Amino acid sequence: MTGYKEFHRRSIDDRTGFWREQAALIDWQTPASKVCDFSNPPFAKWFAGGRTNLCHNAVDRHAAQRPDAPALIYISTETGQERTYSFAELKREVERTAAMLRGLGVGRGDRVLIYMPMIAEAAFAMLACVRIGAIHSVVFGGFAAGSLATRIDDARPKVMVTADAGMRGGKAVPYKHLVDEACRLAQNPPERVVIVDRGIDVGFPRVDGRDLDYATLRAHHLNAEVPCEWLESSEPSYILYTSGTTGKPKGVQRDTGGYAVALAASMKHIYCGHEGETMFSTSDIGWVVGHSYIIYGPLIAGMATIMFEGTPIKPDAGIWWSIVEKYKVSVMFSAPTAIRVLKKHPAELIHKYDLSSLRSLYLAGEPLDQPTHEWIMGELERPVIDHYWQTETGWPMLSAMPGVEQTRIKFGSPSFPVYGYDLRIFREDGSEAGANEKGVVGVLPPLPPGCLSTVWGDDKRFVSTYFTLFKDPQVYSSFDWGIRDEDGYYFILGRTDDVINVAGHRLGTREIEEAVQGHSAIAEVAVVGVNDALKGQLPIAFAVLKDASKGETAEQRAALEAEVMKTVDGLLGAIARPGRVHFVSGLPKTRSGKMLRRSIQALAEGRDPGDLTTIDDPTTLQQIKTALGG
Ligand code: ATP
Ligand code: MG
């Protein structure tokens, strides 16, 4: 085995040879005539001329070899349901759903919008779409009617698949009502809505002539055989909107062949998941992690994948680890925010279970602070791999790659550029930054296979959004700040719009947050820049205490505030010292666990907090307001 450096170098210098080898990890009906067609930069067509099918690679080829091996493990701690589908059973269900969609007139290139809770039928629907060449657009079930309507109008689906309701923390979350409302708001609502009736929202309204029952349709297609449609590699597999943390969501368009190869290769080199093993990603199918590492990635690798409907703390904070024990999970994927939640519970809930099957835990989605990284790696006693990527890329950009070389983990760092990405740190003038110099994370095109091929329906927006930060060279901009240390390890310092300017000094909010977390009483913190007549901007911190009882009185809070400021002074210097440290019991985040810094900042500057349809807990905003008023 070659080491990481050589592996990465070859992926850039001998792009064609490298990716031709990786392409052999999947089945092709017709092999590609050209590995990368980059004749129209920055658009890249991977495996041009090749024909393949995602569903074939994820389901059929395994069903043929190992029909009885587990494929999809559905666990709901909300309804108490638990069921394992073998590859043969999964294939049958997918064919039934595919026949259903075809019966409704859905064909190659048509869009199907999937607005569903974490139930097995959601996976069937996604796989059924790619099987027949239809393009799915999964919208996270937490989005409100308005956000759903915008996505309906952008994707213009022929059919929508939904459920009566979801469940969260024991409470029913209505889906069908929201779908009806969204269809009323949308300019181009779908012709048909198929509903999985879970019996949660009894008597939900039905629209005659439009609404259809999933179980009834399925019963008509029990013996359906629907062959896979062979698609040209660059035909779209799906559209997925970015979370919208930083503004109007963009419809990321994914291809077919490049994506399948990228995922297959990542399962081998990054996640090291093998046929017959089990992967557990705690995300949701509404996010990119759900697409790549609940559905397609593990299945392409012939692994069983766990689809979990529930929260990490119910019935108690040991639930995930009990699942790891029961299903012998070997690869696990989660987000820092969830680990910070677990950190507030006794570690005994981890140690109670036999975790010997688990090789490593991967985390992504937001910065993983050092203390949390150290804590979870200490408790699990195995590698916890921070890795960095975006909806746009579909798979990791920065990561350790244990399948290539076992490299040392540095706390707080997502390690190195992944093969295929010519990733660098750029100064604002487009020149390359040196070691320990802060800059923007960029990638020299072509982007590797699996990354977005364009913005759905808007090639101009693809170019103008991602490829115009620097005039020369043409670089894909991540809109994240990063830094590379002298050992070649990268660190993500936050988003480019999360940078604040204090008296002419540019500071990443992440750096200040890390410094605030250097104080042992702090569990979590958000730092935002607030307009200041004197300094331009002033950092203001909103912190959550590990032990709320330590900040009950005004004196306690004042003492802590002074200590935190001192900690920041010591770590970063007085220039980064927050003007105020407010104590709250929770921070506003999206349902995917990302901090809504823009909303916090707006409140701190007395402005409207903006679109909050994805906020997880609205009471957190009230707390910010109260803290600011006090
Ligand atoms: P939008 O682009 O619509 O504002 P979003 O950027 O929140 O939404 P995602 O694509 O889900 O949507 O998130 C990707 C972003 O998450 C990255 O650009 C980065 O800011 C952050 N991120 C992901 N992984 C990491 C990580 N390991 N460390 C630090 N930040 C991360
Ligand atoms: Mg983004």
Q: Is residue 619 part of a domain?
A: yes
Q: What is the 3-state secondary structure (H, E, C) of 175-207?
A: CHHHHHHHHHHCCCCCCEEEEECCCCCCCCCCC
CB count within 10 Å of CB 465 equals 15
Instruction: Answer yes or no: is the C-beta of 524 below 6 A from any ligand 1 atom.
Output: no
Q: What pLDDT sits at residue 332?
A: 98
**Residue 70: cis peptide before it, omega within 30 degrees of 0:** no
Q: Determine the Cα–Cα distance for residues 160 and 134; give it in Å rounded to an integer.
A: 12
Q: How far is the CA of 107 from the centre of ligand 2 (A)?
A: 31
Instruction: Answer yes or no: is the C-beta of 77 below 6 A from any ligand 1 atom.
Output: no
Measured CA distances, 177 to 111, 197, 200 (Å): 21, 13, 13
> E strands along 181-314, which residues?
192-196, 211-213, 231-232, 238-241, 251-254, 278-281, 304-309
Q: What pLDDT sits at residue 247?
A: 61
Nearest CA to ligand 1 atom 13: 390
Instruction: Answer yes or no: is the C-beta of 480 below 6 A from any ligand 1 atom.
Output: yes
Q: Determine the Cα–Cα distance for residues 379 and 358; give it in Å rounded to an integer.
A: 13
The b-or-e profile of 21-43 (16+ CB within 10 A means b, else e) is ebbebbebeeebeebbbbeeebb
Q: Determine the Cα–Cα distance for residues 261 and 4; give it in Å rounded to an integer.
A: 19
Instruction: Answer yes or no: is the C-beta of 366 below 6 A from any ligand 1 atom.
Output: yes
Ligand 1 atom nearest the C-alpha of 391 is 10
Residue 247: nearest ligand to its CA? 1
Q: How far is the CA of 466 from the centre of ligand 2 (A)?
A: 10
Q: What is the DSSP letter of 533?
A: T
- Mutation test residue for ligand 1: of 138, 239, 243, the one with most atoms within 8 Å of CB: 243
Instruction: Answer yes or no: is the C-beta of 244 below 6 A from any ligand 1 atom.
Output: yes
| Token representation of residue 140 | 């996270």
Ligand 1 atom nearest the C-alpha of 242 is 3
Q: Determine the Cα–Cα distance for residues 564 and 88; give it in Å rounded to an integer.
A: 57
Do 495 and 481 meet the contact criterion of CB atoms below 8 Å apart? Answer: yes
Instruction: Answer yes or no: is the C-beta of 490 below 6 A from any ligand 1 atom.
Output: no
Q: Determine the Cα–Cα distance for residues 487 and 489; give it in Å rounded to an integer.
A: 6
Residue 498: nearest ligand to its CA? 1
Ligand 1 atom nearest the C-alpha of 243 is 8
Q: Is residue 533 part of a domain?
A: yes
Instruction: Answer yes or no: is the C-beta of 365 below 6 A from any ligand 1 atom.
Output: yes
Q: What is the mean pLDDT of each run of 10 residues along the chain (630 residues)?
A: 90 98 98 98 97 99 98 98 98 98 98 98 98 97 86 96 95 95 96 98 96 98 98 98 72 98 99 98 96 98 98 96 98 94 94 98 93 96 98 98 98 97 94 95 97 96 91 88 97 86 81 90 93 89 93 94 94 90 93 86 89 82 87
Q: Is residue 183 part of a domain?
A: no
The enclosing domain of 521 has a CATH number of 3.30.300.30
Ligand 1 atom nearest the C-alpha of 249 is 3
Residue 412: nearest ligand to its CA? 1
Residue 495: nearest ligand to its CA? 1
Q: Is residue 207 part of a domain?
A: no
Q: How far is the CA of 527 from the centre of ligand 1 (A)?
A: 17
Instruction: Answer yes or no: is the C-beta of 258 below 6 A from any ligand 1 atom.
Output: no
**What is the CA 114 to chain-centroid distance, rounded?**
17
Q: Is residue 406 part of a domain?
A: no
Q: Is residue 435 part of a domain?
A: no
Measured CA distances, 630 to 580, 583, 602, 624, 626 (Å): 12, 11, 17, 10, 6
Nearest CA to ligand 1 atom 17: 390
Instruction: Answer yes or no: is the C-beta of 598 below 6 A from any ligand 1 atom.
Output: no
Please, which residues bridge with residue 527 across strands?
541
Q: How far is the CA of 409 from the centre of ligand 1 (A)?
A: 21
Q: How far is the CA of 494 from the centre of ligand 1 (A)?
A: 9
The b-or-e profile of 379-407 (16+ CB within 10 A means b, else e) is bbeebbbbbbbbbbbbbbbbbbbbbbbeb
Instruction: Answer yes or no: is the C-beta of 391 below 6 A from any ligand 1 atom.
Output: yes
Q: Which residue in the block uniquely carries the two structure tokens 């024909």?
A: 51
Instruction: Answer yes or no: is the C-beta of 526 below 6 A from any ligand 1 atom.
Output: no
Residue 252: nearest ligand to its CA? 1
DSSP secondary structure of 42-84: TEEEEEET-EE-HHIIIIIHHHHH-TTSEEEEEEETTT--EEE
**What is the CA 279 to chain-centroid distance, rounded?**
16
Q: Is residue 363 part of a domain?
A: no
Q: Which residue in the block uniquely carries the two structure tokens 């707390």?
A: 623
- Mutation test residue for ligand 1: of 393, 492, 596, 598, the one with most atoms within 8 Å of CB: 492
Residue 391: nearest ligand to its CA? 1
Q: How far is the CA of 478 from the centre of ligand 1 (A)?
A: 9
Region of 244 (left: φ > 0; alpha: ψ -120 to 50; beta: rest) is: left
Q: What is the DSSP letter of 301?
A: T
Q: Is residue 591 part of a domain?
A: yes
Q: What pLDDT sits at residue 534?
A: 83
Number of domains in the chain: 1
Range of the domain at 565: 499-627
Q: For the sheet with 304-309, list strands across it.
A: 82-86, 70-76, 304-309, 278-281, 329-334, 360-363, 384-386
Instruction: Answer yes or no: is the C-beta of 413 below 6 A from any ligand 1 atom.
Output: no
Please, which residues bridge with residue 590 across strands?
615
| Token representation of residue 223 | 């013996």
Instruction: Answer yes or no: is the C-beta of 494 below 6 A from any ligand 1 atom.
Output: no
Q: How far is the CA of 181 from the centre of ligand 2 (A)?
A: 28
CA-based nearest residue to 581, from 617, 607, 556, 547: 556
CA-based nearest residue to 575, from 538, 528, 526: 538
Q: How far is the CA of 101 from the centre of ligand 1 (A)?
A: 33
Q: Determine the Cα–Cα distance for residues 102 and 194; give it in Å rounded to an integer.
A: 13
